[in-house]
Chains A and B, each alone.
Chain A
Amino acid sequence: GAGVSQSPSNKVTEKGKDVELRCDPISGHTALYWYRQSLGQGLEFLIYFQGNSAPDKSGLPSDRFSAERTGGSVSTLTIQRTQQEDSAVYLCASSFLAGGRDTQYFGPGTRLTVL
């Protein structure tokens, strides 16, 4: 079956602009996660959605970052007023069950470059 898909694969933007990154999880997966991978910080958790529960936003680095998940499926990560330190690969993952009880499968990522 289809895996996790993300778009765009690459995004170049100017400092101060807003960007939206999209994630389509594996069909039927109830949990969706966003992570960020950067040279200095490794792989960091950003936010987690599980069903209709309130998302776990504990990893969002600032209030410029937000995410939503519509209809329990597609998710959009929005970064407002981008800064150069936001440059990273943004990875989305989904799992059938929440937490470690199930495996998280990752998408190919969106490489964000802020000039």
Chain B
Amino acid sequence: AQKVTQAQTEISVVEKEDVTLDCVYETRDTTYYLFWYKQPPSGELVFLIRRNSFDEQNEISGRYSWNFQKSTSSFNFTITASQVVDSAVYFCALSEAFGNEKLTFGTGTRLTIIP
């Protein structure tokens, strides 16, 4: 069975600080996909990134970066120079390639950026 753990329930940081959201996953498959979604106060889940299990390169997109480490089964998300608009609930999710196509979500981390 697959599982995603986001141990940080809530995080508050002052604007312009960097913040890292942790994600640890479990799966028996060798081919799988990892995702991060953002859920702002409006409620809609917004896709941020998808990584497959064969690509451990870290990725940077503007102020966002992701660190994928298979050795520790982690897929952490860092926001640099945080802004108030980054305040949201962030979900990490896992999907297997075949036979179990659903997304398994973590419980989410509520991030509050204090102006």
Q: Do A and B bind each other?
A: yes
Chain A interface residues toward B at CB < 8 A: 31, 33, 35, 42-43, 45, 48, 50, 56, 59, 89, 91, 93, 98-101, 103-109
Tell me which residues across on chain B come within 8 A of A103, comparing CB atoms: 35, 47, 50
CA A47 to CA B16, docked complex, whole Å: 41
Number of interface residues of B (CB under 8 A): 27
Chain A positions within 8 Å of B43 at CB level: 89, 108-109
User: Nearest A residue to B49 by beta-carbon distance?
Assistant: A103
Q: Which residues of A contact B50 (CB under 8 A)?
A: 100, 103
Known: A50-B101, A99-B95, A100-B97. A42 touches B108 (CB 8 A): yes
CA distance A56 to B99 in the complex (A): 10
Whether the pair A48, B47 counts as a contact (CB closer than 8 A) is no
User: What CA separation (Å) do A2 and B72 show in the bound complex?
Assistant: 38
